[in-house]
Amino acid sequence: MKVLVTGGAGFIGSHIVDALIERHHQVVVVDNLATGFLENINHGATFYKMSICDAELTDVFERERPDIVSHQAAQMVIAKSVAKPIFDAQENILGSLNVILNCVRSAVKRIIYASSGGAIYGEPQYLPIDENHPINPISQYGVSKHSVEHYLYVYGLQHGLSYVVLRYPNVYGPRQNPDGEAGVVAKFAGQMLREERPTIFGSGDKTRDYTHVSDVVAANLLAMEQGSNAIYNIGTGVETSDQEMFDTLAKVLGYSRNPIYAPVRTGEIYRICLDATKAQKELGWQAQLPLEEGLLQTVSYYQARFI
Give me the active site residues, please.
141
Asked whether 186 and 132 are in contact (CB, 8 A), the reply is no
Longest dimension (CA), the chain: 58
Question: If we measure between CA atoms, which residue out of 195, 189, 167 comes closest to residue 176?
Answer: 189
User: Nearest 5 degrees, angle CA 243-CA 117-CA 213?
Assistant: 70
Asked whether 173 and 298 are in contact (CB, 8 A), the reply is yes
Tally Cβ neighbours within 10 Å of residue 254: 7
Q: Could you check whether the bond before residue 178 is cis, i.e. omega within 30 degrees of 0?
A: no
Distance CA 299, CA 10 (A): 19
The pairing of beta strand 240-241 with beta strand 207-208: antiparallel
